[in-house]
Structure 1
Amino acid sequence: MKKTVLSLLNYIGCIGMALFVTFVIDGTIGMVLTYALVIALVASLVMTLAILHSVKVQPVLNAFAFSKGDKAVLDIRFINSGFLPVPVISVEIENSPHFQLEGSNEMKGSVTGKGANSLTFNLTAKHSGKAHIKIKGITVTDYLGIFSFKLKTDGIQTELTAAVYPDIPEVFVQTGLVTTASLLSGSEEEEEESDETSAVPTGLAGYDHREYTPGDPIKRINWKLSSKRDILMVRLDEKIKNSGRTLMLDLPAAEENEASLTVRDNVIEGALAVLNSMLAEGRESTLYYCKQGLWMSADIHLPQDVYALQEELSDFEPSENAPVIPPELLEKSNAVICFTSAMGGSSASAEYIIDRLPDTMIICSYASSLPVITENQWALTDGFELNRM
């Protein structure tokens, strides 16, 4: 608007100079200049209005699914079906914090008669979830650069969405997490060994084995096999192998900004890391998560299940009206490991979970500044280490 006023004042100044020439220097030359300026303005407006009906817009995103760090390219293509060239066409976009825009959010260009051109915006996928890119407005400026007109976007997809995958950290989360959850849920790992046998053949009758990790019961170490392999090996009976753990994601609706999305990423990726760690320990698990207002569950038996869950969470958007706790968990008595993105000052969902499920282990992001709401609360660092609060 400010630029339009300035351009108009400059034009009026030119008219004033032409009138000055008319009355002071040479009337004929002055009148010619005055008429030329007026005709130029009228012609510019008429041709610009005609152009508005001959330009078509096609926004194109190079992909609709990205990993964090991937480059997204938004091409806004203009096709001019008329003979008149488009003098100046400008586009302004806005994007959700899931993407980081490189450069300005406004670009300008021109299109020749019967030609085409593109304006390209480059972005980088930064945070997981459902990302949005919106075309705020497209304007065409007349040939004299005085007036600007909005190009109608009816029938044009002005808002594009893309899925950004959360990372699956290649780290091993401390097994103290699982040990604590086991104590809460009355796990029988500390009891006598079971006589049940594994259905998976291992070369040793009756048991499957894996490497020892801190927190494993000493009595389950197979000393004979360990001496042969020169590394501590732990045997898994069916009771241990199939002793599943129940996890849930508490991702309450919040204003999406750099801080909230960083916390949410940390929590989601921490949960994926824990699921991988449990698989490495020979443990299966179930994760509950809310999507589009409905609670869903994912049974994790194999690494492929973690990848499938990663894809499910790639287009995640929080739901404001969804139940805080899955109804199934309210009917069960076993302990739950809850990963929450609740933050200091907005901890209502986490407090409600503790109120309804008091034995729940709460895992929050260290960056969330969530106050201590239960004795069994852990903070997840950027490096996915767990520290008890």
Structure 2
Amino acid sequence: MSYAVAKSFNRKYITGYLLSCAVCLAYALFFEIRLGLTFFILMLVTPVLSIVWTSIALKGLQIEGSVSGKILSKGDTFALQLHLKQNGVLPLPLLRVVYGQSEHVQAMGQDDLIMGLGSDRGMRVTRVFTAKIWGTAQVGIEALEATDVMGFIRYTVRMAKQKELFMETVEILADIPDIPLNELLQESMQGASLDEDQEPPERLHHFAGQPGYEHREYVPGDDFKRINWKLSARHDAYMVRLDEPVASRRVNLVVDYMACDGVHSREARLQTILDEEKIVASVLAMMSLMMKQGLESTVFYHMDGGWRTFHLQTEEDLHTFRYRLTQYRFLREAPQRAGRMPDEAVYGGESILYFTNRLDSHVSGLADKARQAGTPVQLVVPRPQEKGYSASPSHTWLVNEQFEFSRIIPT
């Protein structure tokens, strides 16, 4: 295995060493020349031996490792288990393990300090991590720091062609929030958006009681057998189920592949990951809700260079797609041959819930184009957008930390 070794000098130790050499030389000149020169020569040879020793020992270093779990839920803990071996004859005098991890996990404990790595059985070390954020996480060794016997030089060992020395990958599943029936899904199923000055409907008959049937208030002469008592208790009025079932409509969910724009600092990077997690969890929450309502849905998502579709029918499908989303990547730049809204969804005529991290004029134009083609579109964002975005507020929704969807009111 090819390593890249960077060297840095400990000026404090070197200064002390030079003063010691000067003392030995002064002792030889003014007191006892033989003893003084002996110590002076030893002082000259010792750092050379120390540096050569450590340089040779580093060449025999080997690293093996594994993680205790590959697929995790948020909040799970897992261990990174490492086996450091020295295949050479000379042991390493002092070794410090510098761990590295992505923002998705949190490390527990401090970096390990190994006093002497011999060539007999090596050394096993364990570091515990906690899964915090959805996605593909990486944990491992960012570098090894070795010091020679005299402490003059610190060697930083990394891989020759990459930053990390050793890394393992784990998949962290997103939560599936349990959300109640909401106005966003009701409006999508209605198939038409409200005007900005129009009050939202109190209910949609298709969801108000028994799935697949409309309801209305009781009028004298109606058959009491058709009264929906549970729904009547909620509305404080007798609600009668109509005999004609409502034709079920499909709602398509589209996950925009673009990441938030303008990520520069570490704090901004972390916020972007949290927003992406909120988008993914919102999609899963809406899929779960639609499944509970007895509705089928199709999810459009971008992966491996093109748009893919996933059809939800059962709870097993939901968990299959949940795992697939652990490998989903939001992109900083748009691919050349994939628009941000698939044509199959735009011209399909079925309502679209479009989840995006980057609401801009391009997305607004695609949404208007779909509406002109007869496809209602609702836009969902994880945080309030910057001033100047052109999307109609009657079609734009904000999802909060509790996964409640509210229509964005312009300021």
- Whether TM-score is above 0.5 comes out as yes
Task: Establish whether residue 245 from structure 1 lines up as the match of residue 261 from structure 2.
Answer: no
Q: TM-score if structure 1 supplies the norm length?
A: 0.80
Give the match's secondary structure for 1:43: helix
Q: Quote the residue 1:282 is aligned against.
A: 294
Give the match's secondary structure for 1:168: coil
Q: Quote the residue 2:202 is aligned against.
A: none
Q: Rate the CA distance shift 1:182–1:273 in 2: closer, same or farther, 3 A.
A: same
Task: Establish whether residue 32 from structure 1 lines up as the match of residue 38 from structure 2.
Answer: yes
Give the match's secondary structure for 2:59: coil
Contact 1:242 1:283 in 2 (8 A): yes
Task: Establish whether residue 146 from structure 1 lines up as the match of residue 152 from structure 2.
Answer: yes
Counterparts of 1:1-389 in structure 2 under 5 Å? Answer: 4-104=10-110, 106-109=111-114, 110-133=116-139, 135-151=141-157, 153=159, 158-174=166-182, 176-184=183-191, 212=209, 217-219=214-216, 224=225, 226-227=228-229, 240=246, 242-254=248-260, 255=263, 257-319=269-331, 320=333, 321=335, 322-342=338-358, 347=360, 350-358=363-371, 359-366=376-383, 371=389, 373-374=391-392, 375-389=394-408
Give the match's secondary structure for 1:366: coil
Structure 1 gaps, min length 5: 187-192, 194-208
Contact 1:172 1:274 in 2 (8 A): no
Deviations 1:238-278 (A, max 9, x none): 96474221111114134472211111111211121111111
- Further displaced range: 116-125 or 43-52: 116-125
**Equivalent AA in structure 1 for residue 366 of structure 2:** I
Deviations 1:318-367 (A, max 9, x none): 24314311231233233311111226xxx356335324434310111136
Give the match's secondary structure for 1:149: strand
- Further displaced range: 363-372 or 271-280: 363-372
Q: Rate the CA distance shift 1:157–1:12 in 2: closer, same or farther, 3 A.
A: closer
* Partner Cα separation in structure 2 for residue 366 and residue 312 of structure 1: 24
* Partner Cα separation in structure 2 for residue 239 and residue 247 of structure 1: 25
Give the match's secondary structure for 1:329: helix
Q: Rate the CA distance shift 1:240–1:83 in 2: closer, same or farther, 3 A.
A: farther
Q: Rate the CA distance shift 1:279–1:357 in 2: closer, same or farther, 3 A.
A: same
- Further displaced range: 248-257 or 273-282: 248-257
* Partner Cα separation in structure 2 for residue 229 and residue 217 of structure 1: 12
* Partner Cα separation in structure 2 for residue 376 and residue 341 of structure 1: 16
* Partner Cα separation in structure 1 for residue 143 and residue 240 of structure 2: 63
- Further displaced range: 247-256 or 277-286: 247-256
Q: Rate the CA distance shift 1:241–1:41 in 2: closer, same or farther, 3 A.
A: farther
- Further displaced range: 216-225 or 320-329: 216-225
Q: TM-score if structure 2 supplies the norm length?
A: 0.76
* Partner Cα separation in structure 2 for residue 239 and residue 132 of structure 1: 51
* Partner Cα separation in structure 1 for residue 214 and residue 29 of structure 2: 105
Give the match's secondary structure for 1:218: strand
* Partner Cα separation in structure 2 for residue 210 and residue 335 of structure 1: 16
Contact 2:208 2:215 in 1 (8 A): no
Contact 1:129 1:315 in 2 (8 A): yes
Contact 1:248 1:337 in 2 (8 A): yes
The offset of 1:173, in angstroms, is 4.2
Q: Rate the CA distance shift 1:349–1:317 in 2: closer, same or farther, 3 A.
A: farther
* Partner Cα separation in structure 2 for residue 142 and residue 213 of structure 1: 76
Structure 2 gaps, min length 5: 1-6, 194-204
* Partner Cα separation in structure 2 for residue 134 and residue 14 of structure 1: 41
Q: Quote the residue 2:201 is aligned against.
A: none
Contact 1:185 1:334 in 2 (8 A): no
Contact 1:240 1:283 in 2 (8 A): no
The offset of 1:51, in angstroms, is 0.9
**Equivalent AA in structure 2 for residue 326 of structure 1:** P
Give the match's secondary structure for 1:324: coil
Give the match's secondary structure for 2:79: strand
Give the match's secondary structure for 2:51: helix
* Partner Cα separation in structure 2 for residue 241 and residue 88 of structure 1: 73
